[in-house]
Amino acid sequence: MTISRRAFVKTLLGASAYRWFSPSLATAFGTGSAFGVGRIRYQGGNWDPRPDALHKLLLEVEKRTSILVDGRCPPVTPAGAALFDSPFTLMAGDTGFEPLSSAACRNLETYLRAGGTLLVDSCEGDASGQFYQAVRRELDQILPGIPLRRVPSNHVVYQSFYLVDQPVGRTVVAPYLEACELDNRLLVLLSHNDLLGAWARDNFGNWLYEVYPGGERQREMAFRLGINLVMYTLCQDYKEDQVHIPFILHRRQWRLE
């Protein structure tokens, strides 16, 4: 059973999260609210390997969809209440890191089971590297009994806005996403392919990292995947979240009744 946004509201901790999803904002992410993403700051390792890359993705989200974004992307501690300020949170890295506290693991479990989504982006260029191993270690504590599995190619996450044939990033270390799934909802999504590296650009608009082997077409597909991940987070319960459906259908070039 998929948890709707209304259920997410009822279970979130803290008044700021309730304001974000208040029924008075039922127009869904219009002028009264904005979609933001928190970045998990952990101890040890490199929690921010691609500064400002997420902001660049959110600019594309706002440009290409009906979603108003908050591009600040603040760092959040996994044990803090600010984790609940957004339904979508990023955890990135390129090396191993220290174990999270038990309080952080409990907080993340509450967040994920309540309806939050965690995107994990490995920037290390190794599908079994130190960052990936550290993430698996933590997920075993946060979501015991819910293993990481490959997301099938026909999953709705690849169709939520764009039709994406293969998940790519700055690299194509692994041509798949992994996920922890509960009640037909992807709680955690993991990319091995350095999505942030494909999105990163400087303030003059220059790309910071070369994308290979597919060049600029691959970079565009990385942006499309990122937008799909945002749309999947917001529109899992399609019966209650109809506001974006016309935009989705238009992007797919399907006929609107």
Q: Which domain holds residue 166?
A: 5-251
Between CA 127 and CA 194 the distance in angstroms is 11
Q: Tell me the per-residue pLDDT of 173-196, one tens digit each, with 9 for 90 and over.
A: 999 999 999 999 999 999 999 999
Indicate whether 11 belongs to any domain.
Answer: yes
| CATH code assigned at 113 | 3.40.50.12140
Indicate whether 152 belongs to any domain.
Answer: yes
Indicate whether 118 belongs to any domain.
Answer: yes
Residues of the chain falling short of pLDDT 50: 1-32, 237-245, 248-249, 251-257
Indicate whether 257 belongs to any domain.
Answer: no
Q: Tell me the per-residue pLDDT of 105-155, one tens digit each, with 9 for 90 and over.
A: 999 999 999 999 999 999 999 999 999 999 999 999 999 999 999 999 999
Q: How many domains does one find in the chain? A: 1
Indicate whether 66 belongs to any domain.
Answer: yes
Q: How many CB atoms lie within 10 A of CB 128?
A: 12
Indicate whether 201 belongs to any domain.
Answer: yes
Indicate whether 256 belongs to any domain.
Answer: no
